[in-house]
Amino acid sequence: MLLAASAWAQVFEAVPQKPTQGEVIKVTSDTASAARLNGRTITLFPQQDGPALGLMPVPTLAEPGKYQLDFLDQNGAVLHSTEIEVEDAYYRRENISIAPSISKLKPSPGEQATVSKFRETVSSERYWKEPFEAPLPGCVTSPFGSTRLHNGKLTGDFHAGVDQRGAAGTPIHPITPGVVKIVQKWNLRGGTVAIDHGQGVETIYLHMSAFQAKVGQQVGPGDVIGYVGETGRANGPHLHWTIYVNGVPVNPGQWMKLEPCAAGSPKPKPKG
């Protein structure tokens, strides 16, 4: 009887169970088709090498504390519940000095709507695979999650991505395989490429000087999608990029190691 019972044991896993703000919980189950946490529901997708998997983002502004994660069947009924404890990430404050002419830039017509639609799309085919790779070799000048001030004034927002140092013209690579969905020059974001990596994982890369990728192209870490620039609201050549998981910006530090720039380190020289 014990052997029979173990053979029918169901899988309900959530890792980590104590995520920090901005992290992602990997939710796996062999029976559930969705999961819900604090009002957010995600799909669990069938995988080739194991139970169904879904990625539950913990928003950067989520209150630290205990929450209930529900595993749901296809009709939304709760199959199993487990406790998740969100821990404070202690993100820092950061002041950015930018020219008034740059700080006053407004989005191009349709810019915000196009990015919002991209973030809301969740495709069923998985392209992404671990480990993720940084799009540039450069160090991080501005980390994820910091409370942003522009010229000493609070913006009311946090840094939803990572700024990496890079000389103008440095090639940019996608962090994991995916399909290019946006290649666009905009007022606010500058030269922008956005990639769908499937099953809720997406990335966007800003301020490019020129593009190499085309919409609909399937790309991987070995491909060049564009080049470092200072277009849009940028105060010098660098790459701003963001990982979205089911529409929520999340901390890349959970997926890869990124080195902060040393204080006073010299800026790289332009390519060419």
Q: For the segment 254-263, what is each residue's pLDDT rounded down to a tens digit? A: 999 999 998 7
Closest CA to 174 of 130, 222, 245: 222
- Residue 121 CA from chain centroid, whole number: 14
Outline where DSSP puts E strands in 20-109: 24-29, 34-37, 40-43, 45-47, 50-57, 65-72, 78-86, 93-96
Angle at 112 (CA atoms; ends 130, 158), nearest 5 degrees: 65
Polymer length in residues for the chain: 272
User: For residues 193 and 85, what is the distance between their CA atoms, to the nearest angstrom?
Assistant: 35
Q: Is the dihedral of CA 42, 143, 176, 169 positive or negative?
A: positive
User: For residues 7 and 241, what is the distance between their CA atoms, to the nearest angstrom?
Assistant: 45
Q: Is residue 73 a contact partner of residue 33, using CB atoms and an 8 Å limit?
A: yes
Radius of gyration of the chain (CA): 20
Span 171-209, pLDDT tens digits: 999 999 999 999 999 999 999 999 999 999 999 999 999
How confident is the model at residue 184, as a pLDDT? 98
Q: Tell me the CB-side half-sphere exposure of residue 190, using CA atoms within 13 A.
A: 24
Q: What is the largest CA-CA distance in the chain?
A: 74
Q: Is residue 221 a contact partner of residue 174, using CB atoms and an 8 Å limit?
A: yes
User: For residues 53 and 47, what is the distance between their CA atoms, to the nearest angstrom?
Assistant: 7
Span 224-234, pLDDT tens digits: 999 999 999 99
Q: Which amino acid is at 94?
A: E
User: For residues 197 and 255, what is the distance between their CA atoms, to the nearest angstrom?
Assistant: 14
Mean pLDDT by 10 residues, the chain (272 residues): 51 98 98 98 96 98 97 98 97 75 87 98 97 96 81 67 97 98 98 98 98 98 97 94 98 96 65 54
Closest CA to 180 of 210, 219, 211: 219
User: For residues 47 and 270, what is the distance between their CA atoms, to the nearest angstrom?
Assistant: 43
Label residue 204 exposed, middle or buried (CB < 10 Å: 0-12, 13-18, 19+).
buried
Q: Is the pTM of this model over 0.75?
A: yes
The first and second tokens of residue 148, run together, are 């942003």
Residue carrying the six token digits 């902060």:
260
Q: Is residue 36 a contact partner of residue 70, using CB atoms and an 8 Å limit?
A: yes
